[in-house]
Structure 1
């Protein structure tokens, strides 16, 4: 994919994600300026999110999430930190609970 198409795909992914998370905001110039503009989206609770879209690069993760319908999938590579992944529905539920406290 050319650089221009890749940037457009990234921008469209960020816009789509923001439309799915009430109260979230896309960071202008995300990734190109750094500092407070270093992530793609600011969530309503102040968390920062990186938004990635891939044609099929996350097939294994989708397989794990769909295998037995877990709430989260936790994984890590050797000598790396743990990563926790979940479906959007579960994430929205977590955000809602966190804002209620």
Structure 2
């Protein structure tokens, strides 16, 4: 991974940590003992950012006709995943700092 990709990842981790009132884990993924990117809201978070790699997820969650609160996703022989906007998640968690 090049420097620009590392910088982009670190920027997104800091941005997300600020949004949830959490903190970025220094050296996450680079050194054993620092496994996740952000700690906040009582959870450990792995932060992923792609130029357009999540387009289908965004299309599903932003569907104007259906406007779902969340997506339930499952691949064969894998566990269920739930995807929702940060705003919806904060509302569910009772976070008043939206």
TM (norm. structure 1) is: 0.85
- 1:92 Cα shift? 1.0
CA RMSD of aligned residues (A): 1.3
Give the TM-score of the pair, scaled to structure 2.
0.88
- 1:13 is matched with 12
Ranges of 4+ aligned residues in structure 1 off by more than 3 Å: none
Cα distance in structure 1, aligned partners of 2:7 and 2:56: 25
For CA contacts below 8 A with separation 6 or more, give which structure has more relative contact order: 1
Identify, as 1 or 2, the structure richer in helix: 1
Aligned residues between the structures: 93
Match of 2:25 in 1: 27
CA distance in 1, matches of 2:67, 2:29: 33
